[in-house]
Amino acid sequence: MMIVRFLFLLHLTAAGASAGEPPRTFTNPIIPGFHPDPSICRVGDDYYMVHSTFEYFPGVPVFHSKDLVNWKQIGHCLTRKSQLNLDKVAASAGIYAPTLRYHDGTFYMVTTAVGSGGNFYVTAANPKGPWSDPVWLDQGGIDPSLFFDDDGTVYYTRHEGMGDGFIAQRTLNLKTGKLEGELRKIWSGTGDIWPEGPHLYKINGTYYLMIAEGGTSYGHMVTIARSDSPWGPFESNPANPILTHRHLKSHPFQALGHPDWVQTPDGWWMVFLGIRPQPAGAFVHHLGRETFLTPVTWKSDGWPVVNGGKPIEAIMPAPNLPEHIFEPAPARDEFDAPEFALEWNFIRNPYERDYSLTARPGRLRLSGSALTINDQDSPAFVGRRQADLECRISACLDFMPAAENEEAGLVIRGNDKNHYTLAVTQRNGRRKVFVRKVLNGQVQQDLNYVDIPDGNVTLNIKCSPLRYEFSCQTGGELIQLASNALTADLSSEKIGGFTGVYIGMYASGNGKPTSSKADFDWYEYNTANEER
């Protein structure tokens, strides 16, 4: 009897809802925060997705889902310096636009390391890793993609040129890891700038080439062409662009583009990036480019239609796939594991001497180096993406600075030259907490140097769509600090680049190594709904 009841409940889950219940919905973006350039593949009932990471390490997070709505990070593709050398690369250089594909029992991730080697691919039998060392391909262009044809030919497709470039293609010999044949131009897009992010597909005997155009900002759009041959000539869809919000200036989602899609038992679904300006229509965003989801249908003439030709909305009908919800990660990281959790990243390749999870068990110890958050290097910093417009970040810090150059605390990082700091330091022999604003590489304000007693101090950052507010707790006292740090000042529109805000822990000696260790007891990330 229990088996019969289980099978009945399983049938209801697979059907999406029982009779009389409203259909399930999902919320866009499906992966919020800085998760740009999504690429997706399906293996049986499992779906995997990867994203760009630019100067952050480890590179290229791998996510897993069974229903396209609920996702869990399971690893990174690039976890070793032998795979990804980010030494002193510029902010927003590094890893661009990966493509993930599965063929004959092997996962392939191909991408571009801008400023550190060019285009390469790595492979794995398990998407969790380990992934192989790179197979280097070429140094021209960006956004490489692989397509495995029925006859065994592997096509290597990428952007060539700059803003007025085109889509180019060669073949790849998997046995040798070498590109073959000359690089051939196959499509220039519809004539807008930056035709990039190409993916080649074969659907019902026809080759489709889907790309992004218009630049990865407010002019972003998705266009598509088709041909009887993978080499073209490609016929542009008369209805291009098939996805864009460039004409909807006040819509809360903007810059939609850089798509990939996947066929499921519930039809075709597209993932793509977008941004959420704050407020809508203000043309400033700080969380970075996020990953969205929408259905795709097919017309009788063989052209795809995205979301029925309608704008992308925040709440949309979910795929009719068995719902699979992963257990959420705890809001608080107690640093009691021997390795960092997957959401943590470093700026470029970390120096191992700066970090320890074992020197003081149950604590993250940072040993501040001479480097600062301003430097185009790898300071003692470990952070995670801000993924919610409203959230609260707190960390418990044990740090007794021995000199005025020493500081440790929390930092909200836009890039090397734009960040806000809430930290502990020493002034005139006294331990103090302060807030600093650095914009365009210049200190705008050092605010609210406040005396605090010895012992642990809890540092708090309250995030809202338009501003950050700072406070700390020590000795049972709550101290309110500056609250005029605007999110817009860390937006891509103000500071440039392609990344979103990170919030993390750091320590620095501001020109020389610290003698004092910064021990973080815990770090907590709560959304507005989770706050008590």
Q: Which of 286, 317, 348 finishes a domain?
A: 317
Q: What is the DSSP letter of 487?
A: G
How far is the C-alpha of 522 from the C-alpha of 288, rounded, in Å? Answer: 26
Same domain, 273 and 346: no
Q: Which of 266, 288, 317 finishes a domain?
A: 317
N-term to C-term CA, the chain: 42
Predicted confidence pLDDT, tens digits, the chain (532 residues): 333 333 333 333 443 444 567 889 999 999 999 999 999 999 999 999 999 999 999 999 999 999 999 999 999 999 999 999 999 999 999 999 999 999 999 999 999 999 999 999 999 999 999 999 999 999 989 999 999 999 999 999 999 998 899 999 999 999 999 999 999 999 999 999 999 999 999 999 999 999 999 999 999 999 999 999 999 999 999 999 999 999 999 999 999 999 999 999 999 999 999 999 999 999 999 999 999 999 999 999 999 999 999 999 999 999 999 999 999 999 999 999 999 999 999 999 999 999 999 999 999 999 999 999 999 999 999 999 999 999 999 999 999 999 999 999 999 999 999 999 999 999 999 999 999 999 999 998 766 789 999 999 999 999 999 999 999 999 889 999 977 899 999 999 999 999 999 999 999 999 999 999 999 999 999 997 654 3
Q: Are 146 and 177 in contact (CB under 8 A)?
A: no
What does 347-411 look like in DSSP terms, one character per residue? ESSPPGGGEESTTTTTSEEE--BS--TTSSS--EEEEEE---SSEEEEEEEE---SSTT-EEEEE
Number of domains comprising the chain: 2
Q: Which of 289, 317, 345 finishes a domain?
A: 317
The strand pair at 59-65 and 407-415 is best described as: unpaired
Q: Are 73 and 63 in contact (CB under 8 A)?
A: yes
Same domain, 53 and 83: yes
- Give the type of residue at 329: A
Told to judge if 160 belongs to the known catalytic residues of this protein, a careful annotator would answer no
Same domain, 347 and 414: yes
How far is the C-alpha of 352 from the C-alpha of 43, rounded, in Å? Answer: 36
Strand, helix or coil for residue 481: coil
pLDDT at 288: 98
How far is the C-alpha of 70 from the C-alpha of 325, rounded, in Å? Answer: 6
How far is the C-alpha of 378 from the C-alpha of 372, rounded, in Å? Answer: 8
Does the CA dihedral 499-504-508-513 come out positive or negative? Answer: negative
Strands (E), 22-153: 25-27, 39-43, 46-50, 56-57, 59-65, 72-78, 94-103, 106-114, 118-124, 135-138, 145-148
Q: The domain spanning residue 44 has which CATH number?
A: 2.115.10.20
Q: Are 158 and 187 in contact (CB under 8 A)?
A: no
Same domain, 362 and 496: yes
Same domain, 309 and 362: no
- Residue 443 CB neighbour total at 10 angstroms: 11
Whether the bond between 241 and the residue before it is cis, its omega within 30 degrees of 0, is: yes
Does the CA dihedral 27-29-32-37 come out positive or negative? Answer: positive
pLDDT at 475: 85
- Considering the candidates 37, 67, 260, 416, report the single residue annotated as catalytic: 37
Q: The domain spanning residue 486 has which CATH number?
A: 2.60.120.200
Same domain, 297 and 347: no
- Give the type of residue at 305: V
Q: Is residue 357 part of a domain?
A: yes
Domain holding 198, by residue range, is 27-317
What does 288-323 look like in DSSP terms, one character per residue? --EEEEEEEEE-TTS-EEEGGGPPP-SEEEPPSS--
How far is the C-alpha of 487 from the C-alpha of 494, rounded, in Å? Answer: 10
Q: Are 440 and 527 in contact (CB under 8 A)?
A: no
Question: What order do you get walking across the sheet with 166-173 strand by strand?
Answer: 145-148, 154-160, 166-173, 178-187
Q: Is residue 326 part of a domain?
A: no
Q: Is residue 86 part of a domain?
A: yes
pLDDT at 162: 87
Q: Is residue 204 part of a domain?
A: yes
Same domain, 468 and 389: yes
Same domain, 313 and 344: no
How far is the C-alpha of 120 from the C-alpha of 10, rounded, in Å? Answer: 42
Same domain, 259 and 350: no
Q: Is residue 492 part of a domain?
A: yes
Length of the chain: 532
Residue 15 region by backbone torsions, left for phi larger than 0, else alpha for psi between -120 and 50, else beta: alpha
Same domain, 149 and 43: yes
Q: Is residue 108 part of a domain?
A: yes
Q: Is residue 493 part of a domain?
A: yes
Told to judge if 37 belongs to the known catalytic residues of this protein, a careful annotator would answer yes
- Considering the candidates 67, 143, 160, 196, report the single residue annotated as catalytic: 196
- 293 closest CA partner among 315, 326, 324: 315
Same domain, 139 and 255: yes
Q: What is the DSSP letter of 489?
A: G
Q: Is residue 22 part of a domain?
A: no
Question: What order do you get walking across the sheet with 46-50 strand by strand?
Answer: 39-43, 46-50, 59-65, 72-78
Q: What are the tokens at 317? A: 């009908």
Same domain, 275 and 351: no
